[in-house]
């Protein structure tokens, strides 16, 4: 049940609490990404009651790494060899789905090994 609550917190933090300024600037600038990651982490922790420093740290750092960099696109094009899936007409939705899967994997890691 806790993992399910964490996933709900993820959805709230990534979609209901993220405004256009954060979404449009998080790949370009650190501040919008940091604010988004803080709100996202607080959302996940509030829903799942994961109020330990290790959990907060892992959640924030993994979310920041994903959202501030092109690591998801790198995964899709270089590691998983999905370059066409990362282009229209599949993109941007294919990238959003892969991004969300990695966020959920991070939640599972915290649930399984950190809290």
pLDDT single digits (tens) 65-111: 999 999 999 999 999 999 999 999 999 999 999 999 999 999 999 99
Question: What are the boundaries of each domain within the chain?
Answer: 2-114
Interatomic CA distance for residues 57 and 24, integer angstroms: 24
Q: What is the reported pTM?
A: 0.95
Look at residue 91 in the predicted model and tell me its pLDDT.
Answer: 96
pLDDT of residue 53: 98
The pLDDT tens digits of the residues spanning 13-57 come to: 999 999 999 999 999 999 999 999 999 999 999 999 999 999 999
C-alpha span between 96 and 59 (Å, rounded)? 18
Both structure tokens of 108: 């599972």
Residue 89 pLDDT:
97
């Amino acid at each position: 049940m806790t993992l399910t609550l964490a996933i709900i917190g993820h959805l709230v933090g990534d979609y209901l609490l993220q405004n256009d300024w954060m979404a449009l600037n998080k790949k370009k600038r650190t501040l919008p990404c940091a604010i988004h990651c803080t709100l996202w982490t607080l959302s996940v922790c509030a829903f799942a009651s994961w109020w330990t420093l290790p959990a907060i740290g892992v959640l924030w750092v993994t979310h920041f790494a994903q959202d501030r960099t092109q690591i998801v696109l790198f995964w899709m094009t270089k590691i998983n060899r999905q370059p066409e899936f990362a282009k229209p007409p599949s993109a941007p939705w294919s990238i959003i789905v892969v991004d969300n899967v990695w966020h959920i994997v991070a939640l599972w890691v915290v649930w399984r090994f950190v809290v």
